Amino acid sequence: MLAAEPHQVITAKTLKELAQCIKIRIIVFTHEQQFPIEAELDEHVKDTLNANAAHFLLQSTPSLMPIGTIRACKFTSTQITENGLHSTKTYYKLTRFAILKEFRGKHLGEALVHRLHEWVLEDAAKDRLQTLDGTSATVTIIAHSQIYATGFYAR
């Protein structure tokens, strides 16, 4: 369903945009949900070190007020198969999904997840995650969310 609230989702590229994502995470996870600030700070350090993380910022339009965020982290793991061949798997983890309280329940969460899915597909295509016969390979997206939010991701 399309969100009725005017909005746009951008990929956070500048420090200012990244800071706006982090501010929303602190409002939601630290202040509202009472998770320790250390948990959030650890995540900031990981973000700084992880060049493979993409951050998305949801903005109300036309004001461009930041109202939500989500992060995709990309991982690759290489395993040696029984035949001694290398098999590389790429997967994406969906994390730090948050929308300011007053903007929830308006299908803006769906808009963020939709943009993240588009980005994953674009990124996977760039990495030539295509099978040789041209059919697309499976892309794995993992959501280790707080348990009560799993219903949301299942949609």
Ligand X SMILES: CC(C)(COP(=O)(O)OP(=O)(O)OC[C@H]1O[C@@H](n2cnc3c(N)ncnc32)[C@H](O)[C@@H]1OP(=O)(O)O)[C@@H](O)C(=O)NCCC(=O)NCCS
- List contacts with ligand X (CB under 6 A): 1, 28, 97-99, 104-110, 145-146, 148-149, 151-152, 155
- Least distance in angstroms from the C-beta of 64 to ligand X: 18
Answer whether 153's CB lies under 8 Å from 95's CB. Answer: no
Whose CA is closest to 76, among 113, 98, 51? 51
Comparing CB distances to ligand X, the nearer of 44 and 107 is 107
Comparing CB distances to ligand X, the nearer of 89 and 101 is 101
- Least distance in angstroms from the C-beta of 104 to ligand X: 3
- Least distance in angstroms from the C-beta of 6 to ligand X: 14
Q: Which residue is nearest to ligand X (CB)?
A: 109
Contacts of 39 (CB under 8 A, 6+ apart): 29
Comparing CB distances to ligand X, the nearer of 51 and 154 is 154
Beta pairing partners, 65: 60
- Least distance in angstroms from the C-beta of 82 to ligand X: 37
- Least distance in angstroms from the C-beta of 25 to ligand X: 9
Beta pairing partners, 72: 54, 94
Q: CA end-to-end span of the chain, whole Å?
A: 12
Comparing CB distances to ligand X, the nearer of 27 and 129 is 27
Contacts of 100 (CB under 8 A, 6+ apart): 24, 27, 28, 67, 68
Comparing CB distances to ligand X, the nearer of 74 and 106 is 106
Answer whether 9's CB lies under 8 Å from 56's CB. Answer: yes
